[in-house]
Amino acid sequence: MRTARVPASRTPAPRTRAPAGRARRENRSGWLLVSPSLAVVALVVLLPFALVVVFGFSEIRLVDIPFLGTEPIEWSLDNFERAMASQAFWGALWTTVLYAGLTAAGSLAVGLVLALALRRPFRGRGLVRALLLVPYVLPVVAAATIWKTMLNPQYGVVNAFGRAYLGWDTPVGFLSTTSAEVWGVPVPVALLVVVLFDIWKSAPLAFLFLTARLQAVPGEIEEAAALDGAGRRQTLRYILLPQLRAVALLLLLLRFIWSFQSFDDVYLLTEGAGSTQVMAIKVYTELVTKADIGSAAAFGLLMSLILGVLLVGYVLLSRRSSES
């Protein structure tokens, strides 16, 4: 009678752990690889920001720069108190919010209309799409020069057309007029021109994002909706727009942040004239015109605080859209 042999149970070999010295060497190598980037960030971002904080909480003017470090810094909140009590600050803040809000909403609306209009294929669609990107890729200096030439009250084509065909008695200074009545309604002319310029220049970016999202919408959904009797408005409202909601919200917030800190567009067109002094131009005026580094730093820190809140909202919104 044979007895079956029971195989001896093999104990699993103990896992070999990487020695602690190897982990330390890998960690040291990682820090050595990222140290140049960290040094650049510290010199370009952190050090200037630390200096702005120091200037914002101290009374320093441009003539005091050569004497920094020779005398102790007197810390105070006077710059922030003067900024909060200044009508110029609140006026610039309101102008910035209005400018950023109108620009963000306008560029998103124009981009959405263009994306929907060019969604169906037709002959020459690629050429039309390429031409729509010209304002976005055009250098801002060249674009601002073109607009200033067209809107010039002496030789601009817009004033020439208005006086010849629209019955204008006098030329309109589009870039310097604060307000004008149109059919009894006051219109902020210069600010509206700056907003239209920014919409014209930034709408192609919204067009690109929305077009890319529309191309990802499955065609079977629209075909099923058409079989169920849905018209174009119902398809747009209940199928396409919900698909674009996340991208549109991100674009809206991102465009608002970019416009809130915009300087070159407004400065190249109006230099802050015609009640178009946004926060960035206010900081520039305090620094260059008034030579008050402390006041300019305080304005810049308040502006950065508002931008920080907007950036937190952007991060939360992008995280929510990625999870959905």
pLDDT-based confidence at residue 193 (cuts at 50, 70, 90)? very high
Among candidate residues 48, 49, 55, 50, the one with its CA nearest the CA of residue 76: 55
Alpha helices in the chain (DSSP H): 20-41, 47-56, 78-85, 87-117, 125-132, 134-137, 140-150, 157-165, 189-215, 219-227, 232-235, 241-260, 264-269, 279-284, 293-323
What pLDDT does 20 receive?
65
Q: Is the pLDDT at 199 greater than 90, yes or no?
A: yes
- Residue 257 belongs to a domain: yes
- Residue 169 belongs to a domain: yes
pLDDT in tens, 273-307: 888 889 999 988 888 888 888 888 888 898 888 88
CA distance 169 to 179: 17
Number of folded domains that form the chain:
1
- Residue 27 belongs to a domain: no
* Of 250 and 320, more confident: 250
Q: Is the pLDDT at 184 greater than 90, yes or no?
A: no
- Residue 117 belongs to a domain: yes
- Residue 60 belongs to a domain: no
CA distance 248 to 317: 11
**Range of the structural domain that residue 276 is part of:** 78-323
Q: What is the mean pLDDT of residues 142-156?
A: 91
On whether the pTM is more than 0.85, the answer is no
- Residue 238 belongs to a domain: yes
Question: Token pair of 216, please?
Answer: 């990802």
CATH number reported for the structural domain that contains residue 318 in this entry: 1.10.3720.10
Q: What is the mean pLDDT of residues 250-255?
A: 88
Among candidate residues 130, 119, 322, 122, the one with its CA nearest the CA of residue 215: 119
- Residue 234 belongs to a domain: yes
Bridge partners for 185 per DSSP:
182
* Residues 6 or more apart in contact with residue 27 via CB below 8 angstroms: none
pLDDT in tens, 215-245: 887 777 777 777 777 777 777 777 888 888 8
Q: Is the pLDDT at 4 greater than 70, yes or no?
A: no
- Residue 200 belongs to a domain: yes
pLDDT in tens, 40-79: 888 888 888 888 888 888 877 777 776 666 667 777 888 8
Looking at the chain, the whole-number percentage of residues with pLDDT higher than 70 is 90
Place of tokens 């006077």: 78
